Amino acid sequence: MFKKKKSVYLLLAGVMALTVIIEVLFAHPHYHMLWNTVPGFDLIIGFAGGWALILLAKVVMAKILQRDEAYYETDNCCDSGSAGDCEGSSTSLRKDGEGNV
């Protein structure tokens, strides 16, 4: 697995280097801001922004949006065995008491 991971990073580094070379050779040389003079700066900003979005989604948003494993558990209203005790539950849809439809 380590060898596969290393090859993915080498491929990524090669694509990044190729992108910088293409930008240096073929980019339109009208610079409006100081950071436009740095070769590959757009690549670096895009890469950093992608990682920032991934980290935001995994670290910050996961804590906000994820629920506990028992979040959707019932509140034990259907444990009596009677099909009519809980409205809106799956047991109220059964035709007989054994769970057969």
Each residue of 18-65: pLDDT tens digit? Answer: 988 888 788 777 778 877 777 778 888 988 999 899 999 888 888 888
74: buried, middle or exposed (CB in 10 Å: 19+, 13-18, 0-12)?
Answer: exposed
Tokens of 59: 């670290």
pTM for this one? 0.46
Q: Where are the domains of the chain?
A: 2-65
What's residue 14's pLDDT?
Answer: 93
Mean pLDDT score of the chain: 75
pLDDT tens for 77-101 read 555 555 555 555 554 445 555 555 5
